[in-house]
Amino acid sequence: MTSKVVLVRPKRFGDERGWFSEVYNESTFRDHGIVDRFVQDNHSLSVPAGTLRGLHFQTPPFAQAKLVRCIRGRIFDAAVDIRRGSPTYGKWVGAELSAENGHQLYIPVGFAHGFVTLEPSTEVTYKVSALYSPANDGGISWTDPQISVHWPLPGGQSPILSAKDDRQPLLRDFASPFEYDGTPLELIEV
């Protein structure tokens, strides 16, 4: 099982009709250390560009690994290491996911996740490894200066946030239930 953030670049096979892509294959993902059993698919629509969702996670025993992809529009997707004792605690990695590039981001347990939409009417789907549990729903402030994610907000605008995301705690006020497993934050591409 990998605890690395993985940028997955599925192959597309195209012709005059369009293209075909295999976006999930258990065997192929296992070959790259992704062995999570995904139990729920989520789908979001963000109408205005600049909609920011995150930074979210679920705590044990309902901690979630995620496999995120953008099926319409473009997003900047970020993962933040929140495993206590990690030498990369509070550090982040990010990637642009779009309907055009077809890339996906795998985010293991122990990382907070968030994204900002770069185009209007952007749709995102993601698989998760545990069912949603309101009692285990958590988050960190998207604007935490300790983390300092470089959100590429369209036109330098302020993000459009939910009330929940506007009041998330800072990392310094968060007692992480996630433990470091010996693998520092690293974005690998497959």
Cβ neighbours of residue 17 under 8 Å, at least 6 residues apart? none
- One of 56, 89, 106, 113 is an active-site residue; which one? 56
The yes-or-no answer on residue 89 being catalytic is: no
The yes-or-no answer on residue 126 being catalytic is: yes
- One of 103, 106, 113, 126 is an active-site residue; which one? 126
Active-site residues: which are they? Answer: 56, 126
